[in-house]
Amino acid sequence: MSFVLVQVIVGGLLLGAVYALFSSGLTLVWGMMNIVNFAHGDFVMLGMYVAYVVYTLMGGGPILGAPLATLVLATLGVVVYFALIRDIMKGPMLAQILGTFGLALLLRYSVFWWFGANFLSMPQDIVGGTYAFAGLRIEASRLLAGIVALLVTLGLHLLLTRTSLGSKMLAVAEDQTAAQLMGIRPDTMQAIAWAIAAGATGLAGALIANFFYIVPTVGETLGIVAFVTVSLGGFGSVPGALVAGLLIGVIESLSGYLIGAIYKDIVVYVLFLFFLWFRPQGLMGKM
């Protein structure tokens, strides 16, 4: 195998891990309450801006910026749940779509108003440059994002399957009334789910900010990828999002290098549709 090809695949895997990281929040919210959060991409964007503000105000890198972005977005997640989601969940599907879409535009244009439309960027070496071994080059910031992505996805999976909190959340997802009869408060569980989902998304944003540009519309660019990742992985499945993210990352990289970048999206989406034809529930989703 040619040497460049190894670099392409490694790059694709790291990219895919990041795709997985910022998709896990979307899949969690769907799994818990059947809501597609169209503001998801803009949550990522907010996470990036929190990290940037932390950097400019306090000079801190991801060690400070990432936890703060997680905290800020988790809080926002709870606020959004009580102020918006709880009510629109009772409404028709269209109200849910338009509600979260409206939220997306509100967040995007608030950031426009406050920060302006200019592109921002973290210093290139904020996480410590690039590792080079045997000619292979791996950016520290991408490696960090990739490792955190794996840990967070694993953590989320364990939380849902191995803890009593996870069981309670799943119980609410399964049957709200029955869960309530068992003494579980659906409101609390769903608010926690929003906090976790938004927090993970904020963390993803803060880590992506280290190697991507920051602009109010970046959520549009990244949001689409999250939706494809989640539907390929299976709506509601956290491990599914991980596998799908890695798969999409590698396919994008390989097709971008081998047959040209303007065709890479065609390759990804053809494979995606072809796959859904055989398995409409996605890789690991339930019917």
Partner 1 sequence: MNLKHVTGLLCAAAMSLALTAGAQAQDKVVKIGVIMPMSGGTASIGAHAKAALDVATDIINNAHPELGNFPLAKNAGLAGLGGAKVEVIIADNQGNPATGQNQALRLITEEKVAAVFGSYQSGVTLTSSAIAEKYGVPFLNSESVAANLTERGFKWFFRTTPIATDFAKIYTEFLADMKAAGAKTDAIALVHDNTEYGTSVANTIAGAFKEKGQPIALDVAYPVNATDLQGQVLQLKDKKPDVVIMISYTSDAILFAKTMQSLDYKPAVLLADDAGYSDPSFTKAVGKISQGVFNRSSWVVGPPGSPSAIIADMYKKKSGEEMDDTVARQMQGFFVLADAIDRAGSTEPAKIQAALKATDLKPEQLMIGYKGVKFDDKGQNVLASGAIIQLQDGENYVSVWPKANAEKAPVLPYKGW
From 76, 44, 11, select the one nearest 227 (Cα to Cα).
44
β-bridge mates for residue 131, sequence order: 138
CB of 87 to partner 1, least distance (A): 28
Angstrom distance (rounded) from CA 284 to CA 58: 42
CB of 261 to partner 1, least distance (A): 4
CB of 101 to partner 1, least distance (A): 15
Cβ closest to partner 1, residue 142 vs residue 168: 142
Cβ closest to partner 1, residue 76 vs residue 226: 226
Cβ closest to partner 1, residue 62 vs residue 256: 256
Show the tokens assigned to 152.
Answer: 């967070």
Q: 34: which DSSP letter?
A: -
From 67, 77, 28, 44, select the one nearest 234 (Cα to Cα).
28
Cβ closest to partner 1, residue 118 vs residue 164: 118
Residues in CB range of 46: below 8 A, 6 or more apart: 69, 72, 73, 76, 107, 111, 202, 205
CB of 129 to partner 1, least distance (A): 9
CB of 118 to partner 1, least distance (A): 4
- Per CB under 8 A, residues contacting partner 1 are 4, 7-8, 11-12, 15, 109, 112, 116-121, 124, 130, 132, 137, 139, 142, 211-213, 215-217, 220-222, 225, 252-254, 256-257, 260-262, 264-265
Cβ closest to partner 1, residue 77 vs residue 256: 256
Cβ closest to partner 1, residue 101 vs residue 157: 101
- Torsion, Cα 280 277 254 131, to 10 degrees, reads 10
CB of 177 to partner 1, least distance (A): 42
> Measuring CA to CA, how many Å separate 7 from each of 4, 180, 220?
5, 52, 28
Answer for the pair 154, 224: CB distance below 8 angstroms, yes or no: no
